[in-house]
Amino acid sequence: MSRIPLSALIGLVMTSAFFLAALFAPLIAPYGMAEISGDVWEGSSSKYWLGTDSLGRDLLTRMIYGGQTTIFVATMATMVSFVTGSVLGFTAAVIGGWIDQVMSRMVDLFMSIPSLILALVILSVMPTTLTVLIVVMGLLDSTRVYRLARAVAVDITVMDYVEAARLRGEGTRWIIFREILPNALSPLVAELGLRFIFAVLFISTLSFLGLGVQPPLADWGGIVKENKEGLVYGVAAALVPAVAIAVLSISVNLVADWVLNRTTSLKGGRGA
């Protein structure tokens, strides 16, 4: 940590700030999440640092609570996608044969359909609760994690230490979690940051279209939707969430790049 690059340090500080703000939102938000405390679209002032929104609610408060919801849903969806995609990808690479072919063709089928369209179809016939959003987003995104995990695992399974584990009689679970996973962390960590950011963009897009986070909860995509008419009158309330998403994206990617450089590459492998 004493030799962390400046860019990674900035990314780490900014990312931590976003997550801490989301974690302690009720303590640091100056007003209630749905509290109407002023006039419509007031400008920035000592009372309202970012102004007010289309209903007269404090925009800073809405951003803090919106970040809490957005980051929570994106984090949980990313965890679902990585656990599901990695385990299935590693399993397909280790077992091989017809199981690998069936799983890969099923993933190809789902990947051929745009994720946003498929999510809109699913959510249009299901209740749009946070649990449903997390599961739908996680499973749809797991197809991309599956592809990466399988591609990396295919290269690792031909390594000598994996063959030695098989000759020792180790089972599929041992090979996946003790031989393949430690040597696949480098590309997976890099993909983790990207998938988290895509999850943030995904949930924001769904909320903007009306099928994401539902009122009275706030999220960044919903804040853009609520204030988009203000752009016609020169009110920048709809741009604040966009700036937040951009800053979070850059910060997470700076940290992911640093972690990627610190992890062990696949060259030579590492046995358990």
**DSSP assignment, residue 264?**
P
| Weakest mean pLDDT among 82-91, 108-117, 161-170 | 161-170
Query: How many CB atoms lie under 10 A from the CB of residue 124?
Result: 9
Q: How many CB atoms lie within 10 A of CB 249?
A: 17
What is the per-residue pLDDT for 41?
Answer: 85
Give the mean pLDDT of the chain.
Answer: 86
pLDDT of residue 67: 92
Least reliable range by pLDDT among 37-51, 101-115, 234-248: 37-51
Q: Is the pLDDT of residue 268 over 50?
A: no
CA distance 265 to 251: 23
Instruction: Say what percent of the chain tops pLDDT 70.
Output: 95
Confidence class for position 187, pLDDT limits 50, 70, 90: confident
C-alpha distances (whole Å) from 53 to each of 28, 94, 219, 228 are 19, 53, 13, 10
The pLDDT value given to residue 184:
80
pLDDT at 80: 95
Structural domains in the chain plus CATH codes: 6-262 (1.10.3720.10)
Query: Quick one: 257 exposed, middle or buried, by C-beta within 10 A (0-12, 13-18, 19+)?
Result: middle
Angle between the N-to-C axes of helices 220-227 and 59-95, in degrees from 0 to 180, rounded to the nearest 10 = 130
Residue 75 makes CB contacts below 8 A (sequence gap 6+) with: 196, 199
Question: Residues of the chain with pLDDT > 90: what percent?
Answer: 31
Q: Please compute the mean of the pLDDT values over residues 53-80 and round it to a whole number.
A: 92
Closest by CA position to 266, among listed 144, 154, 169: 154
d(CA 186, CA 189): 5
Predicted local confidence at residue 53, as pLDDT: 86
Q: How confident is the model at residue 43 (pLDDT cuts 50, 70, 90)?
A: confident
pLDDT > 60? residue 62: yes
Look-up of token digits 């590309």: 187
Which band of pLDDT confidence, cut at 50, 70 and 90, is reported for residue 270?
Answer: very low
- The tens digit of pLDDT for each residue in 15-33 reads 999 999 999 999 999 988 8
Q: Looking at residues 154-182, what average pLDDT do you find?
A: 80
